[in-house]
Amino acid sequence: MLVERLYLKNFRNLAAVLLDLNPDLNIILGANGQGKTNILEALYYLSTGKSHRSNRDRDLINQKTEEDKFAIQARIKKKDKIKEKLAVSVSSQEKVYKINDEKKEKLADFQGRLNAVIFSPEDLKLVKGSPSERRDFIDTEVSQVSPNYFRQLQSYKKILRQRNNILKDIRAKKRKKDELLAVFTDKLAKVGSRIIAKRLEVIEKLKILARLQQRRLTANQENLQLKYDISFSEKRADKITESSSDFSEAEIKMIEEIFQEELMSNFQQERERGYTVSGPHRDDLILKLNDFSVRKYGSQGQQRTVALALKISELEFMKSEKGEYPILLLDDVFSELDSRRREAIIKLIGNRIQTFITTTDKSLVADIAPQESSYFKVVSGQVSKGW
């Protein structure tokens, strides 16, 4: 999978940019604040329907234009040589997705046409940050390869909001426990059980890939362990994780029943707090090195290596699911990594993965990209070919 051509209009400080891209390496040079990362952000947005830097689409619109809108278009080529034109335009009124000029009503119908993995200095949050950072890592990865999972996730969030509103009313004594709560409890367990099962299935694959990458990055000195931490009582969580990693409908039904039991047992606590205290929205991914918590006890170097191992594992997972590598977006990470970790990335890339690298220092990438045709230079939002 690769991007042949990219067009941006009014995206961040990029007023109008048209790029014919290298199928292997694309090095984006420039001083800080010139717009390098904006190119990677646009590619990631085209892949996932969201930015990796902001939760507000409004932040992505060029502030120097009178237009209340930005647009991203790309021509991509897949392994079977089929080409597609992808486009998204966003204003304060609407968001429009198109595949080959055909409008798609929902992100679920658009997401996954272009797969991307991004690695940036902020990815230390995967290790050091809150559980929500790790949940987002899993959900974004799975959603790119499984549109149905994305639909289930959106449905779960909607049901959760509705159930929480009922719990808030009960806490405020605006209503008593009623049949409506039972309806949303059943719905939450039904959808949530499928999310839990899919996450467990994916993490079972990731843990093998991540362990291998961590050992490669540390000369076999460190073993990385991944565990999905379900926010149920220990007994109920253990009952789920003891099941197979390839869940049958009967096993998913079992998870649904366990989820319902958990919700019913938590009712008193939920009534006092006014929100749902357990479920996929509260779960976590536990990361350990040689049986010790990376978040609590790992050095910054170890944490950075674990984040890198997870990102490389993400690439390999998508390759196994989709039959081809996603594009790789490396946002100013070469300056953050030592020579051993840089070499590991270079070895991975080879000529197999279309890669976009932003940097302020050409010397960090000169060895892997000596040809001028691989370079773009960004100055004040203006992009030119070469160095």
Rounded mean pLDDT, 76-88: 90
Is residue 84 over pLDDT 80? yes
Which amino acid type is present at position 1? M
Is residue 8 over pLDDT 90? yes
Is residue 178 over pLDDT 80? no
Which amino acid type is present at position 247? F
The mean predicted confidence, pLDDT, of the chain is 91
Is residue 338 over pLDDT 80? no
**CATH 3.30.499.10 describes domain 1-115+326-387:** no
Question: pLDDT category, 345, cuts 50, 70, 90?
Answer: confident
Q: What are phi and psi of 306, to 5 degrees?
A: -65, -45
CA distances, 192 to each of 112, 154, 189, 229, 234 (Å): 22, 11, 5, 15, 18
Alpha helices, H only, 9-130: 36-48, 125-128
Q: Which two tokens stand for residue 151?
A: 């639909």
Res 284: pLDDT: 97
CA 34 remoteness from chain centre: 25
Greatest mean pLDDT among 169-178, 313-322, 345-354 lies in 313-322
CATH 3.40.50.300 in the chain, residue ranges: 1-115+326-387
Res 155: pLDDT: 97
Rounded mean pLDDT, 88-115: 91
Res 244: pLDDT: 63
Question: pLDDT category, 334, cuts 50, 70, 90?
Answer: confident
Encode pLDDT of 179-220 as tens digits: 789 999 999 999 999 999 999 999 999 999 999 999 988 888
Q: Which CATH architecture has domain 123-323?
A: Up-down Bundle (1.20)
Res 53: pLDDT: 87
Rounded mean pLDDT, 86-103: 92
CATH 1.20.1050.90 in the chain, residue ranges: 123-323
Is residue 370 over pLDDT 80? no
Encode pLDDT of 38-66 as tens digits: 999 999 999 999 998 888 888 899 888 77
Encode pLDDT of 243-300 as tens digits: 766 789 999 999 999 999 999 999 999 999 999 999 999 999 999 999 999 999 998 8
Q: Which two tokens stand for residue 262?
A: 């958990």
Rounded mean pLDDT, 160-178: 89
Is residue 301 over pLDDT 70? yes
Rounded mean pLDDT, 321-345: 85
**CA diameter of the chain:** 70
Is residue 70 over pLDDT 90? yes
Rounded mean pLDDT, 11-30: 93
Rounded mean pLDDT, 31-36: 92
Rounded mean pLDDT, 371-378: 88
Instruction: Return d(Cα 342, Cα 344) in angstroms, integer.
Output: 5
Rounded mean pLDDT, 368-381: 87
Which candidate, 263, 258, 262, places its Cα nearest to that of 241? 258
Instruction: Return d(Cα 126, Cα 108) in angstroms, integer.
Output: 25
